[in-house]
Amino acid sequence: MVSVVTAACDYDYLVVGAGVIGCAIARELVRSPVRVGVVEQAWDVGEGASKANSSLLHTGFDAKPGTREARLVTEGWRLWQREAPELDVPILRTGAVMLALDEEQARELERWRRNAFENGVTDVELLTRDQVLALAPAANPSVVGGLLVPRESVTCTFTATVALAEQAAVNGAVFHFGHRVTGVDRSPDGFYRVLTDRGQITTRWLIDAAGLWADEIARWAGADGLVIAPRKGEFLVLDKSARAKVPLIHLPVPTPISKGILVAPTANGNVLLGPTAEDVSDKRDLAVTASGLQRAREGALRLAPALADEPVIATYAGLRPASPAGDYVIEIHPRHRLVLAAGIRSTGLSSAPAVAREVVRGLLEAGEPLASSESPLRPRPRRRWVPGLPRPCSRPELVAADPAYGRVLCLCELVSEGEIRDAVRAPIPATTLDAVKKRTWAMAGRCQGFYCTAAILQVMSRELRIPVTGLTKSGPGSPVVGPPVEPPGRHRHG
Amino acid sequence: MAEGPVIAEREVDVLVIGAGPAGLGAATRLAELGVAPLVLDREPVPGGLPAQCEHPGFGLWAFRRLMVGREFAARLVERAGRAGVRIESETTVLEVTPERTVLAVSPSGLVRYRAQALLLATGCRERPRSTRLVPGPRPSGVFNTGVVQRLHTFLGLLPGWDVVIVGSDDISLVAARTLARAGCRIAAVVEERPYRQGYLANEWWSLRSLRIPLRLGHRVSRVLGDWRVRGVEVVPCDAEGRQTAESYEIPCDTVIFSGEFVPEATLVAQARIPSDPRTGGGPLVDQDFQTELPGIFACGNLVHAADPADYALADGERAALGVWRYLSSPPTGNERVQQVLPGTGVRAVVPQRLRWYGERLDPVTLAVRVEPAQRAVRLRAVVSGTRWGQAFAPAAKPHRSVYLRLRPEGPVDAPLTVEARGWPFA
């Protein structure tokens, strides 16, 4: 099959935003022999809302019935189950229990049970107090009842986004990192000219998956009316000692305002507390606040007071790109050759594969010659490690085959030199310290890099062939270290 | 199909985990006593944290001379080698079991060691920014002192240009001096408490001689900057941490969270060795540094983080005697155990138990942490009203041990309580 356009423009489809949604769409598009580009302002995939969420794979039991979100989350859950093994994406089917802490909340549970049924999640089950405490030993002893959602699962948002992007890249998608879109023009011949701070990219179709910035992109492309309101969520991460107390996800009974602060295991064996929900105006405001962390902690401890003494190892904040309409905005404008995939808030990780298919379905209806969603993709190189698997350093056959897997650099997470090297050499290379952290979990453990940062910088420097002074945390403007000592390099080692 | 690579099995008499001052001190003494210890260390260069220190302040006790950390570490390694200690570098312990098997990995493969006695000497680390819950975004340019030392000593790099150091422990003061002399501008050393943590002499040597400002009673309330740090917001506060004046910004491109050491107790938790929350999770030990699990010992800054390297070394040498005694006459398990408890004005005491092998015990040294900081402190070790020992210190602060040597009088069932009385600090 031949590409339908001439080479007069760079791409047939240009996805703006390499978050989980953008990467999923790119991966779905490269099933067909078309030219797909992804433009991203950050220097890695998944640096926006996809970076800082609760990493849950929702069944959609609590979504508003009849919404697009409810439908796509439910479909997304099923697609993930099918695709995860090939993508090396970990899924822990822990289940979730919604905890009613008083009689009023207990009455609400029945309503949520009906809600789940309406969304096709029919395996939910009302639990008595004793049943709840048997399943969730750390739960608040004053709990009066619960709702069990057995298929609610835990995954890893970093691994998922990177995996989707890598498979897209292996199958021909081209990623432009560090390109911030500054405007969109339509050229006379009908193509889009996407202006970025590093030059322009031309494309036939523009796919807006820009998360928090989706409204700006849409406006530039000529679709008014989309509004994205950032809603901040702050999280705390507990050390692995807490994991044994949290066998499944603990959910509060949602209020009309928010789904509330939850307690969840993570795929990597930690426990997550959060998120808060606060409407903010600044789309770059990723600061954790004293009050936010306190609210997240207090809310979580109401569900599971037994976690009070567990040490916090990390905190973070994320912004959900919410739309005031309260539902996903997925629109295909055939006349403008514009696709909006926006307003996809905290459930985007769960729904991403379904959103991608929805977009492709829309493009097919618009007459685009795309292949079916069942046509195969080239596999990506297998990962040596993903959260939940034994580390390469504990596998004698791997260490024997490659001694770099026996040289452990990050002690808390047991990350070897080999894994750092693999991350740098992957189809989407990890070029920043944060990107390495996202793929290997190095520096993300209890010491947060006290022992290993210097050694990891050395390996990255060697692999990327740039001096340590040229390495960054998250891209230009964030150098990790300062200048060399004068006279340089008195006591080098290693 | 050929046999795949397997985990090698090795038997050793004594296995020491960690080649810092405590581990090397113990291993050297054990070798001198005729036991051949094997030391596992995960760094390419053994010596522990002193190996990355370019500042003096080491070796007075062990070598009767002040030297820089690197030299101190090198000497310890050399001395251990002469005594016949084997050190396996780049070897990381993955798992310790209560039965004293240790799974370790190095580039040459995985090995499961089976040891008669096991000594944990994994040392300590500083608390990172995240566990201190300092608000603000997460730009680059936020460090611990340990990372800065490594960048400086091993890679010849500075962390940045304009530096704020948070904390006033000796490591913080010395870091300020080292960086200032290497060309950084130290905007301030900021300390939340109303008093300096490190020694007065160190403040003069490190800060005052270079005119580096020390701001006591200032808490960092926010890190600023989206990509790289562009400053910190500090709040003047009183002894209880209440804000006393308007907060203000100190522009800088680097923040170093310094001091506040916690034990590197991952293996302790993993092997389920009973630990003491009062020491931050270090294992409970007796006067021979034996943990609650027979044959597993722990010493140095793993049990009382963080005292100076010379003290860790001394710990190691005393632990070696305990290990040697354990190997030559294994305990019956019927010994009487006397609790050692912190009393008024004391947060933690190491050892937490005295184990009575007979009617007499050799003199015991207790490492005592006071709480709060006090001046003109008198420490008393009391058993049901009888004083067993006492010590005096002109000043005592919670982050560093005061040592109290006592002669146990005879086995009794009542616990030994250590109390501290002094004048409030500042």
ipTM reported for the complex, 2 dp = 0.94
Whether A411 has its CB under 8 Å from any CB of chain B: the answer is yes
Q: Per-residue pLDDT averaged across A327-344, rounded?
A: 95
Residue after which a domain boundary falls, among A281, A297, A322: A322
Q: Per-residue pLDDT averaged across A269-279, rounded?
A: 95
Tell whether A259 and A366 lie within a shared domain: no
Closest in B126, B161, B228 to A478, CB measured: B228
Residue B222 has pLDDT above 70, yes or no: yes
Residue after which a domain boundary falls, among A346, A361, A384: A384
Residue A484 has pLDDT above 90, yes or no: no
Q: Which of A441, A379, A330, A414 is nearest to A170 (CA)?
A: A379
pLDDT tier for residue A346 given thresholds of 50, 70 and 90:
confident
Residue A400 has pLDDT above 80, yes or no: yes
Do B125 and A478 lie within an 8 Å CB cutoff? no
**Backbone phi and psi for residue A37, each to the nearest 5 degrees, phi listed first:** -120, 155
Do B135 and A287 lie within an 8 Å CB cutoff? yes
Number of domains present in the structure of chain A: 3
DSSP single-letter state for residue B164:
E
Residues in chain B closer than 8 A to A276 (CB atoms): none
Residue B4's pLDDT is 62
In a domain, A494, yes or no: no
Residues in chain B closer than 8 A to A393 (CB atoms): 92, 94, 105, 110
- In A245-304, the residues whose Cβ lies within 8 Å of chain B are 284-290, 293
**A139-185 per-position pLDDT tens digit:** 999 999 999 999 999 999 999 999 999 999 999 999 999 999 999 99
The CATH number given to whatever domain includes residue A422 is 1.10.10
Residue A491 has pLDDT above 60, yes or no: no
The CATH number given to whatever domain includes residue A379 is 3.50.50.60
- In B206-265, the residues whose Cβ lies within 8 Å of chain A are 221-222, 226-228, 253-254, 264
Tell whether A241 and A300 lie within a shared domain: yes
In a domain, A485, yes or no: no
**Backbone phi and psi for residue A285, each to the nearest 5 degrees, phi listed first:** -80, 90
Residues in chain B closer than 8 A to A285 (CB atoms): 137
Residue A492's pLDDT is 36
Taking the C-alpha atoms of residue A181 and residue A196, their distance in angstroms, rounded to an integer, is 4
Tell whether A330 and A461 lie within a shared domain: no
Secondary structure class of A215 (helix, strand, coil): helix
The CATH number given to whatever domain includes residue A302 is 3.30.9.10
Q: At what angle do helices A20-29 and A348-365 cross, to 10 degrees?
A: 40
Domains B1-127+260-331 and B128-259 belong to one CATH topology: yes
**A87-109 per-position pLDDT tens digit:** 999 999 999 999 999 999 999 99
Number of neighbouring beta carbons within 10 Å of residue B228 = 20
**A407-421 per-position pLDDT tens digit:** 999 999 999 999 999
Average pLDDT value over all residues in chain A: 93
**A227-247 per-position pLDDT tens digit:** 999 999 999 999 999 999 999
Taking the C-alpha atoms of residue A27 and residue A8, their distance in angstroms, rounded to an integer, is 23
Closest in A311, A312, A394 to B105, CB measured: A394
Domain that holds residue A334: 7-90+155-227+323-384
Contacts of residue B22, defined as CB under 8 A and 6 or more positions apart, other chains included, come to B48, B121, B123, B299, B300, B301, B302, B312, B313, B315, B316, B319
Whether A479 has its CB under 8 Å from any CB of chain B: the answer is yes
In a domain, A32, yes or no: yes
- In A293-322, the residues whose Cβ lies within 8 Å of chain B are 293, 311-316
Provide the H-helix boundaries in A304-428. 348-365, 396-401, 417-425
Residue after which a domain boundary falls, among A384, A407, A424: A384
Give the DSSP H/E element, type plus range, for residue A202.
Answer: strand A199-208
**Backbone phi and psi for residue B405, each to the nearest 5 degrees, phi listed first:** -100, 135
CATH architecture label of B128-259: 3-Layer(bba) Sandwich (3.50)
Secondary structure class of A357 (helix, strand, coil): helix
The shortest C-alpha distance from B225 to chain A (Å) reads 10
CATH (residue range B1-127+260-331): 3.50.50.60
In a domain, A481, yes or no: no
Residue B1's pLDDT is 40
Q: Do the Cβ atoms of A406 and B8 come closer than 8 Å?
A: no
CATH class of residue range B336-426:
mainly beta
Tell which wins on pLDDT, A277 or A258: A277
Closest in B125, B157, B253 to A450, CB measured: B125
Q: At what angle do helices A348-365 and A68-87 cross, to 10 degrees?
A: 100
**A41-85 per-position pLDDT tens digit:** 999 999 999 998 999 999 999 999 999 999 999 999 999 999 999
Residue A261's pLDDT is 96
The shortest C-alpha distance from B127 to chain A (Å) reads 7
Residue B36 has pLDDT above 70, yes or no: yes
Tell whether A138 and A179 lie within a shared domain: no
Burial (0-12, 13-18, 19+ Cβ within 10 Å), A141: exposed
Tell whether A416 and A353 lie within a shared domain: no
Q: Do the Cβ atoms of B145 and B172 come closer than 8 Å?
A: yes
How much of chain B exceeds pLDDT 90, in percent? Answer: 92
Tell whether A431 and A414 lie within a shared domain: yes
In a domain, A426, yes or no: yes
